Amino acid sequence: MLGERRLEVLRAIVQDYVGTHEPVGSKALTERHHLRVSPATVRNDMAALEEDGYIAQPHTSAGRIPTDKGYRLFVDKLADVKPLSPPERRAIQNFLGGAVDLDDVVGRTVRLLAQLTQQVAVVQYPSLTRSTVRHVELLSLAPARLMLVLITDTGRVEQRLIDCPTPISEATLADLRARLNSKVVGERFNDVPGLVQDLPESFDADDRGTVSAVVATLLETLVEETEERLMIGGTANLTRFGPDFPLTIRPVLEALEEHVVLLKLLGEATDSGMTVRIGHENAHEGLSSTSVVSVGYGSGDEAVAKLGVVGPTRMDYPGTMGAVRAVARYVGQILAES
Mention every residue, 6+ apart, whose C-beta is less than 8 A from residue 208.
200, 201
Taking the mean position of all CA atoms in its chain, how far away is CA 312? 17
Please list the residues that pair with 233 across neighbouring strands. 121
Per partner kind, with CB cut-offs from 5 to 8 A, the member of its own copies, DNA, none near residue 212 is none
Please list the residues that pair with 287 across neighbouring strands. none
Q: Which of residues 103-122 bind its own copies (CB under 8 A)?
A: 103
Query: What span, in angstroms and rounded, lies between the C-alpha atoms of 232 and 238?
Result: 12
Per partner kind, with CB cut-offs from 5 to 8 A, the member of DNA, its own copies, none near residue 62 is DNA
Least Cβ distance, residue 314 to DNA (angstroms): 16
Per partner kind, with CB cut-offs from 5 to 8 A, the member of its own copies, DNA, none near residue 47 is DNA
Closest CB to DNA among residues 41, 333: 41
Closest CB to DNA among residues 47, 139: 47
Q: Examine residue 142 and tell whether it contacts its own copies (CB under 8 A).
A: no
Contact call for residues 33 and 7 (beta carbons, < 8 A)? no
Q: How large is the C-alpha radius of gyration of the chain?
A: 26
Least Cβ distance, residue 48 to its own copies (angstroms): 37
Q: Which residue in the set 94, 205, 239, 260 belongs to the binding site for its own copies (CB under 8 A)?
A: 239
Q: Which residue in the set 235, 268, 280, 284 belongs to the binding site for its own copies (CB under 8 A)?
A: 235
- The CB-based long-range contact list for 249-257 (8 Å cut-off, 24+ gap) reads 251/285, 251/286, 251/287, 252/120, 252/286, 252/287, 252/290, 252/310, 254/286, 255/284, 255/286, 255/287, 256/120, 256/122, 256/232, 256/310
Per partner kind, with CB cut-offs from 5 to 8 A, the member of its own copies, DNA, none near residue 280 is none
Q: Which of residues 157-216 bind its own copies (CB under 8 A)?
A: 157, 159-160
Closest CB to its own copies among residues 93, 235: 235
Please give the torsion angle defined by the CA atoms of residues 88, 94, 96 and 99, in that order, rounded to the nearest 10 degrees. -160
Q: Rounded to 5, what percent of the chain is helix, strand, coil?
A: 55, 20, 30
With contacts defined by CB under 8 A, name the span among 55-63, 148-156, 276-284, 316-324 that binds its own copies.
148-156
* Helix ranges (DSSP H) in the chain: 4-20, 26-32, 39-51, 68-73, 86-97, 102-117, 170-184, 192-196, 205-224, 245-257, 259-268, 317-337
Closest CB to DNA among residues 44, 212: 44
Q: Which of residues 5-44 bind DNA (CB under 7 A)?
A: 5, 23-28, 36-41, 43-44
Q: Which residue in the set 195, 216, 236, 336 belongs to the binding site for its own copies (CB under 8 A)?
A: 236
Q: Which residue in the set 25, 66, 126, 234 belongs to the binding site for its own copies (CB under 8 A)?
A: 234
Closest CB to DNA among residues 27, 188: 27
Q: Which of 332, 274, 260 is nearest to 303 (CA)?
A: 332
For the chain, the first-to-last Cα distance in angstroms comes to 52
Query: What span, in angstroms and rounded, lies between the C-alpha atoms of 120 and 309?
Result: 5
Q: Which of 149, 151, 148, 147 is nearest to 131 (CA)?
A: 151
Per partner kind, with CB cut-offs from 5 to 8 A, the member of DNA, its own copies, none near residue 44 is DNA
Binding flags for DNA, 45-74, as an x/- string (CB under 7 A):
-xx--x------x-xxxxxx----------
User: Which residues sit at the interface with its own copies, rule CB under 8 A?
Assistant: 101, 103, 134-135, 137, 139, 141, 147, 149, 151, 155, 157, 159-160, 229, 233-236, 238-239, 243, 245-246, 249-250, 253-254, 256-257
User: Which residues sit at the interface with DNA, rule CB under 7 A?
Assistant: 5, 23-28, 36-41, 43-44, 46-47, 50, 57, 59-64
